[in-house]
Amino acid sequence: MVAGLIVLAAVLAAASAVGVGIRARSGRFRPRTSLPGLSPTTVTQDGPGQARSPAGDQLTVADLGAALGERATLVQFSTEFCRYCGPTRELLAEVAGARDGVALIEVDAARRLDLARRLNVLSTPTVFVLRPDGSIAQRASGLPRKSDVLAALGSVLGGGAS
């Protein structure tokens, strides 16, 4: 009986630790340097200390069905039953609308499974920040904070998100 309680407590502790880890990563942007299956040696430098996505990690007008922004593009993958997609869409629209040359494109992951698989989109919302040429600079899964979106966008716009 006591051994069973110890095992139960250990399982609950492990599950809690995993949950806290997943929650901490949700909505956080991270640099995007390559896709699974692509050689990391194809990554080029965009400038001093800035890794740039490989050519196969570039999105086009044909991929997205809409024009890219002149300075940057925010791409949101969402689904019909996504809990955080609406608030994420509103946040991204606010940020994109306040900056010249920044476009927002929403992609229905269920209708574009080919693109979602190619980009390894495993949950929605997933947000990509694209450079003007369509290469992926950063990505986040989950509901991002406005400050994180501004910082990720600032990395593409050149130091500031204005």
**47-63: pLDDT as tens digits:** 444 444 444 578 999 99
Percent of the chain with pLDDT over 70: 73
SS (H, E, C) the chain: CHHHHHHHHHHHHHHHHHHHHHHHHCCCCEECCCCCCCCHHHCEEEECCEEECCHHHECCHHHHCCCCCCCEEEEEEECCCCCCHHHHHHHHHHHHHCCCCEEEEEEECCCCHHHHHHCCCCCCCEEEEECCCCEEEEEEECCCCHHHHHHHHHHHHCCCCC
The model scores a pTM over 0.85: no
Pick the more confident residue, 162 or 122: 122
**72-92: pLDDT as tens digits:** 999 999 999 999 999 999 999
pLDDT of residue 6: 80
**85-133: pLDDT as tens digits:** 999 999 999 999 999 999 999 999 999 999 999 999 999 999 999 999 9
